[in-house]
Structure 1
């Protein structure tokens, strides 16, 4: 489910443009615990979505979950420096054993594949709360193709610039942003998971975004960056109206 500020910003952007292009990096299965899924399904005639997922195991889930969306494309690769990127994942035979409390009600694949990362340490830390799982047996290295975002979009004949860039890269969201050529892709909104990025790298990333004219807002463990070249007054005006409309509905219940 979308955080309220992200939801407000995306809905406002749709009001301005009437149809928006969305790129999701680290799409996983595209549906479970994904902040943009419901919006895209509700506005399938007003959105185009590019789903980028490096783990080949998840591509069939993506295809199924977006089969009814008329304007979607899927890329099975990572966003980063051109070449091969090594990711670390939990082997499928251990998925059933890794079911943390936050994943109650999720399909068995979601939690395990959701922590796939370029950092083996990230996986080991997640497994530390599951002493029944031996990391040496459960973790597998995946070598996946890595490309700059603009390269992927050009290969898919995707429109550039884009409107929304959503990232969930388990501690490497900053690397994705650096490989996204913001001067070319110019997303109006960037929404990324910042909680797993070390403080020193977060500061560098925020400075980088500021240098590209983005204003950033921390939302729990995530960050929303708004392009200063976007018509911010219009976004904020629509956002305020939508927020108070939402609050009014709650009060009237």
Structure 2
């Protein structure tokens, strides 16, 4: 075959191959995107069902428990994305609210003023030891939204990683108290709900619980800032102490099996 003919033949082969493979590629990518959207909708539906089930169970427990008592660690201002505020007000719960940041802490107390002395407020953080420790948060010069003021953590490389990379964090010393000391200080003998949102420290707090003496009926905590290893270990620990779980998009609700048969 003459050289020019060979060249034209080769060019035609490449053209057909590109067109064919490009067509196949578009089909495959379209199928992949469709599958991703389907899985996204499916996950959203599952998360919505999980959230509804959690709300149904906790509302039922609140209605049948006149002396309902809760502890909320990382309460922030009691308003922004707060998962339990409406129940606490509606059912006039008793409880302890823990928030280490002074600004949100003042807002928290004001927001619950109608419950009077039914609530106790602690301007501290929960830690493994009684000590002072730096708490990292978004620099107020860059905290332009309420969500940014809610980001405060012992771990600057987790929920605050983006701001840490941009050098937009500040730290302030906060007084810390171990969870058992908090219970002893207020003579707590039963917990109906333990609500935790500490931007990555949730598992450390759960490890402080005395499941033999004062096991919470319900534990609701945030998992999205835990590593996969921590998350798996946390669920194993709770399961070993008789809890089953409702996993939501960012949070987990763990229920005592004896009180809430799955």
- TM above 0.5, yes or no, is yes
TM superposition shift of 1:229: 3.0
The 5 Å alignment of 1:176-187 reads: 176-187=205-216
CA RMSD of aligned residues (A): 2.0
Quote the residue 1:25 is aligned against.
Answer: 73
What secondary structure is seen at the aligned counterpart in 1 of 2:158? helix
Say if 1:50 and 1:171 are closer, same or farther in 2 by CA, change over 3 A.
Answer: same
1:81 and 2:128 equivalent?
yes
Taking structure 2 as the reference length, the TM-score comes to 0.74
Corresponding residue number in structure 2 for 1:127: 163
How many residues align structurally? Answer: 211
CA distance in 1 between partners of 2:246 and 2:85 (Å): 22
Q: CA deviation at 1:196?
A: 1.4
Residue among 89, 101, 111 paired with 1:65: 111
- Structure 2 segments unaligned to the other structure (5+ residues): 1-49
Q: Which runs of 4+ in 1 moved over 6 A?
A: none
For residues 214-253 of structure 1, the aligned pairs below 5 Å read: 214-230=243-259, 232-233=260-261
Candidates 140, 144, 166, aligned match of 1:92: 140
Higher relative contact order (CA 8 A, sep 6+): 1
Deviations 1:42-84 (A, max 9, x none): 112xx11210112223211111111111311111111121123
d(CA) in 1 for partners of 2:52, 2:178: 30
Q: Highest CA radius of gyration, 1 or 2?
A: 2
Could you tell me how far apart the structure 2 residues matched to 1:188 and 1:25 are? Answer: 16
Q: How does 1:106-125 map to 2 (within 5 A)?
A: 110-125=146-161
